[in-house]
Structure formats: structure tokens, C-alpha cells
Amino acid sequence: MHSKPFSVYMVLWLAVLFADPGVIAGDFGTLTGKITDAVSGDGVAGAAVQAVGTQQGAMSTGDGSFVVKNLPVGTYSLRISSIGHASLDTSGIVITVGAVTRLDVSLERRVSDLSGDPVVRGVRDIGPAYTRFGIKLFQEILRTDFGSNVFISPASAAIALAMVYNGADGLTKDEMQQALQLQGFTLEDVNAANAVLKTALAADPTVVLSVANSIWMRHDFDFREDFLERTRLYYDAAVERLDFADPEAPKIINAWVAENTNQRIKKIIGAISRRDIMFLINALYFKGMWTHPFDTNHTHEGDFTLLDGNRKKHPLMQQTGRFGYFATETFQAISLPYGNGRSSMLVVLPGAENGLEQFQKDLTAENWEQWRLALRPGMEQEGTIVLPRFKLEYERTLNDALIAMGMKAAFHPAAADFRGMWMPKPDSNIFISLVKQKTFLEVNEEGTEAAAVTVVGMALADAVMDTPPPFEMIVDRPFFCAIVDNKSGLPLFMGSIVDPQ
């Protein structure tokens, strides 16, 4: 079947199945179905199914199936969007009490330029945006951590903060947009891109790469349902209420963390304070076998030179073959692929004279893209790689780094604006109290295992809950003073008093 650009052909079946035992009776029903490609007939993963005019919807899974639960009874119009396919709008979808309505849709591929589609544009650009964010975050961390092992997950941090971004408004939202490098993106762009990114990252069946999100709320605190629904829909987040006063609450959250990192990271939450009201968590887990494994018989004890020039004995793996490789006057770089080659490890060895510090200064988003292109498939060379076998764990609070990147208001108890997350109350506010990341990495002859968890803690800045102790200010040394018009902020008088008479 031939089609014109932008045309849509769909095959639509509607069936209402009554008395389904999986549906709870009430004023709600369920919409389920499958989305397939009109040409191949294969299921379309990562398609967004949205009930127009509501916050309810779902993302299709790997085989194209989807389920929208607890839809109020009524007649709906639906919008179905998928990368590489024409969007589909359909109406007259009837949801009946206690029933399952089935909708099977076949989407036509788009054959024209997709750059004008906001969802497609968002997915295309979100990777470079998160790369810019990650490099800037890495640079900020190095200001204080240079000289020790540093290993972060820009992807995990970006996804966790993107969930929070859904609740930000005003200056807080503007600053988060700048810090996350999301200038020019609408919230729809960001959410749709993250939804498809989650599916795309898991596209290689030869490696394990899982992305999991969760939100843990204090059971007696009210959050906006539309905010929670967006995190469910676009980030596939598990949303749970907990009694934060229960000593078991941290254990429940940490159990989720351990489960979603293959037990490599077992704890991200310690004691929960009375001000904590929400934790938004991303967990990222990777396990890939080298496309060309190292032979353990070639691993040997060799010298590894430390930053201070001292040497230590360490296991060094070795192999010879064809790899993506290039060299400049200041460094060598190699790409070591995993599985079918969708993912790889980039290893950069700075020259002995220039050192790691100079390379890290040269690490920019622009240079990163040039280096990545120089290592693309087809650029392989014959050679030998000798690489340490190693394991590390890293933990870092990211508050200061993010503030230095311009995300200031979000951390300020009074200035933070998260009205998109809750209904503000007089003399009260919520703010980000903590952004923390833990990572794990192991590199050996077989491959690589890595895990990351990023938690964003939201806290209540309430005058009643956070009453400071009585202060004492003794002005017994030179001081500054001013007389100010509080309406305009104009200083009518100001001065320094160094010798009161």
C-alpha cells in the first residue's frame, strides 16, 4: 500500500468485554490495546496514548501493548504519538462502567522531514542537551574532587531532575531549564523525549540496560494529581505513599533501590526527617559483555602511575584487534564496544606531559561530539589496548554543583517555586533539600557492570515545623547600617560605623 506524506492509515477495532475479572466495579473502566507499525506489523514501543483533555494515558511496551486504567466512564478522544510515525487522533472511544474497551491501532510511517514535530525534535535533541548538562556537572564536581576517583551518571541525574522539573514554576523552572540545558524545549518535549529515551536505551538485547523511576510521598501530604500522573505516564514512575515516621520507611525505599540496581547499590536514604515530604529517585543499571572479551591469560601485574608520579602494581588486561581509535597531540582515545555495538566504553589516555587535568579542561560538549564522530563505526584501526581491571563505588551530594550551575532558587526554602507539584499554603513552601547520587562500576575481562541511583529530596519549609532557635546578635565591633524604604527598596541612608560616639 502506497501513501502520501503525512497521511494516516489506521486499522481500528473496538470491543467492549464485560465482566472482566481484572476490572474493579465502579464509575471507571479500562482501555487496552496494541499499537503496530502499518508496514511491518510489528508492535510499536514507546508510543504515547493520551486521553485528550485529561492527564490520563499510557506508554506502549516493547510489543506495542498498552493499558490505561481507571478511566472515568464517558466518551473520549485519543491522541497517539510515536517517533517515526504520523500522530493519530481518534474519537468516540466509549468507556463503560467496570468494563475493558479494546483499541488496536496501526500507525503509518512518516516519510517526510520530521524536524517540525515537537515530540520528534525533543527526542532528537534531548541526548545532546543531557550531554551538555552532564559535562557541566562533571566539571563542577572536579572543582572539589580532582585528585580522587570520580564517576557520575549524567543520565540518572538528568532524568531524576526532569521529574522534578514537571513541578517547577517561575524563576525556579527557568533556572532548572538553564541548568539542564533544556532551552527551547516545552514541557511536552521534555516528557515525550524522556519517555522514548527510556525505551530506546533498552533496545539492545545483547546488554542489560534498565531505567527505573519512583516517587515516595509522605502519606499525609497532598500533591497535585496531574503532576503525579505525568510522572507515571512519561517516566513510568512507581508512585507510593509511606508513613515517613515509620522506622521501616527508609528500608522500603532502599529495598526498591537495591532491586533496581541488581543489589549493587543498597542504600540511598538514611534517616528521614520530619521536614521530608517526597523523594524522587532514578535508578540506572547496565551490564554489558565486551564484543571482544579480554583473555584472562593475558592479564598481568603491571605498573600504574598515580597523579603524584608514584607507581603501584595493578592487574592490567590486554588484547589486540580492530577498534575505533584516534589520537591527537595531547591524548589517545579508544571505543570498546559491548554486545552488538549500540553501547561502548570510551577510554581517553592523556599524554604524560599534558595530564588528566588539562584533558578535563578541554572536555566540552563541542569537543565531545567531535571525538565521538571520530570513533564512529568504520573508523577502526588495528592495535593493542592495555586496560586496568578495576572496581569502584562513588557517592556525591550534588546540591553545590547544581547551585553553581545556576539552579539556585530550587534549593532556597523561601524562593523555591514548585506550585506545579502541590497547592501552596500560607506561610509554607517546599524546596529541594537534597540531590545525591551513588554509583558503582566494575570493569573486568568479560565486560562492565555499572549502576547509579539519584535521589532528589523535597522538604517542607514551614514556620511551624522549622522554627529556628532564638538568635543572639551583639553589635560590638564595626558594622554597616542603612535606613531603607521597604516599599521601593531604596536606601535612604547607609554607612559604616567603626567608632560609635
Q: 76-122 pLDDT, tens per residue?
A: 888 887 766 777 888 888 888 788 889 999 888 654 333 444 444 44
Cβ atoms of residues 105 and 57 within 8 Å: no
pLDDT band per the 50, 70, 90 thresholds, residue 18: very low
State how far the alpha carbon of 182 is from the alpha carbons of 56, 134, 398, in Å.
25, 12, 19
The model's pTM is 0.73
The pLDDT of residue 370: 85
Cβ atoms of residues 192 and 123 within 8 Å: yes
Nearest one of 104, 85, 82 to 93, comparing CA atoms: 104
For 369-390, what is the mean pLDDT? Answer: 86
Nearest one of 416, 392, 411 to 401, comparing CA atoms: 411
Domains and CATH numbers, the chain: 13-107 (2.60.40.1120), 118-288+392-462 (3.30.497.10), 307-388 (2.30.39.10)
Instruction: Among 45-59, 138-152, 481-495, name the most confident range.
Output: 138-152
Task: State the chain's mean pLDDT as an integer.
Answer: 83
The pLDDT of residue 485: 56
Cβ atoms of residues 491 and 484 within 8 Å: yes
Between 311 and 501, name the one with better pLDDT: 311
Q: Which distant-in-sequence residues (6+ apart) come within 8 Å of 33 by Cβ?
A: 65, 66, 102, 103, 104, 105
> Does the structure show a pLDDT above 90 at 366?
no
State how far the alpha carbon of 450 is from the alpha carbons of 150, 197, 406, 439, 444, in Å.
14, 19, 29, 7, 12
The pLDDT of residue 182: 94
Q: Which of 5-9, 107-111, 155-159, 334-338 has the lowest mean pLDDT?
A: 5-9
pLDDT band per the 50, 70, 90 thresholds, residue 476: low
pLDDT digits (tens, 9 = 90+) for 416-458: 999 999 998 888 899 999 999 999 999 999 999 999 999 999 9
Give strand ranges (E) for 41-185.
48-51, 57-59, 65-72, 74-81, 88-95, 100-107
The pLDDT of residue 56: 74
Nearest one of 329, 333, 328 to 372, comparing CA atoms: 333
> Does the structure show a pLDDT above 80 at 354?
no
For 322-345, what is the mean pLDDT? Answer: 88
Enter the C-alpha cell of residue 258: 537495591
The pLDDT of residue 464: 40
Cβ atoms of residues 107 and 8 within 8 Å: yes
pLDDT band per the 50, 70, 90 thresholds, residue 356: confident
> Does the structure show a pLDDT above 80 at 203?
no
DSSP for 432-483, please give it.
EEEEEEEEEEEE-SSEEEEEEEEEEEEEEEETTTTPPPPP-----S-EEEEE
For 314-323, what is the mean pLDDT? Answer: 92
The DSSP output letter for 489 is: T
Q: Which of 43-47, 110-114, 151-155, 361-365 has the lowest mean pLDDT?
A: 110-114
Rg (CA), the chain: 27
pLDDT band per the 50, 70, 90 thresholds, residue 42: confident
> Does the structure show a pLDDT above 90 at 273?
yes
The pLDDT of residue 455: 98
